[in-house]
Amino acid sequence: MLKTILIGTGVSIQGVLERRLDNGHAVVRIGAKRFTGRLVERWRKPEA
């Protein structure tokens, strides 16, 4: 499943979800490389 994570304040990475960590972060894989960051939650339009 593809997921997007944030690294720092302005870098986002989209890759295959490897696992979720206990601290709320996630690990995604792009090819042979793995990246750890904060998982981006799905944005929902506020109800009026």
Among candidate residues 2, 21, 5, the one with its CA nearest the CA of residue 13: 5
- Residue 44 is predicted with a pLDDT of 78
31 is written with which tokens?
């090819």
Q: Give the CA dihedral 36, 38, 44, 45, nearest 10 degrees.
A: -120
List the beta bridge partners of residue 27: 19, 36
- Residue 36 is predicted with a pLDDT of 97
pLDDT tens string 1-48: 899 999 988 899 999 999 999 999 999 999 999 999 999 987 777 887
Record the pTM: 0.79
Domain boundaries, the chain: 2-39
